[in-house]
Copies of this chain bind each other. A is one copy, B any other.
Amino acid sequence: MIPARERRGDQSRREIVSAAIDCFSRSGYQGTSIDRIARAAGVTKGALYYHFKDKQDLLLGAIADRIDGFERVVVERVTSLKDPAAALDAVVDTCVQQATASNHRRFILTLMVESLDAYPELSDPFRAMMRRFREFLTQTFTIGQQKGVYRDDVAAPLAAQLFVAAVIGTELQFYQDPQGIDLPTSMRAIAAQFRDWMAPAERRSRQGGGARRSSEKG
């Protein structure tokens, strides 16, 4: 039974999570005070503690929300695609969009790094997410190899891991130097790089393999 009109509590809960994602993205976990989140959400600290037992519980809620959100979008846009190359394109496009339209990719990156050793309970969901991400790409590469559109002397899991590395490393460079890095161009270049690198020997061609235009801005 879904209630026709959402209850008051659910709405403010979502506003708290949304404010938390925003603040944590910008200033990290330690750098964000409960007070600031409450203010940003337009509720009192008490309301926040009514919904979440402590700061970490709130962060876990935010993480779950964002990981779910990202994976749902990926599944929606990418899984249906038959063509492995199109799938990789869709992955990088999704990342670009999530990184520029909202700060949701940055939230994941920031919190993942901050929680590395300091918060094992928080690290776990991130680690699981990264593994799922690599597994998803491993499947994509494996399918491409079975179809013969990808070379098979490169192990699919390795290709997946390098792809993830390229995406994350590019995002990090972008967040760190938005003036110096053109994210959409760079991300498309990753797709092109892997299309080219993973092409089977006989079919390899230069066209599209290299992006002549530098992604270094200014």
Contacts and interface: CB of A to CB of B under 8 A. Distances in A.
Interface of A: 26-28, 30-31, 106, 109-110, 112-114, 116-118, 123, 126-127, 130-131, 134, 151, 153-155, 157-158, 161-162, 164-170, 172-173, 175-177, 180-181, 186, 189-190, 193, 196-197, 201, 204, 206, 209-216
Given A155-B212, A155-B214, A131 B180 contact: yes
A37 B218 CA distance: 40
Contacts of A169: 164-170, 172
Number of copies: 4
B172 A213 contact: no
A117 B196 CA distance: 35
Nearest to A112: B176
Contacts of A161: 170, 173, 181, 186, 215-216
Given A162-B189, A216-B134, A116 B175 contact: yes
Contacts of A153: 206, 209-210, 212
Residues of A contacting B: mostly:
helix
A58 B212 CA distance: 43
A94 to B, nearest CB: 17
A177 B113 CA distance: 11
A151 to B, nearest CB: 7
A155 B209 CA distance: 11
A178 to B, nearest CB: 10
Most chain B CB atoms below 10 A, which of A169, A189, A196, A215: A169
21 contacts: A26-B117, A30-B30, A110-B113, A110-B114, A114-B114, A116-B176, A130-B176, A151-B210, A154-B211, A158-B215, A161-B170, A161-B181, A161-B215, A162-B166, A165-B166, A165-B169, A165-B170, A165-B173, A169-B172, A193-B197, A204-B204
A176 B118 CA distance: 11
A204 to B, nearest CB: 7
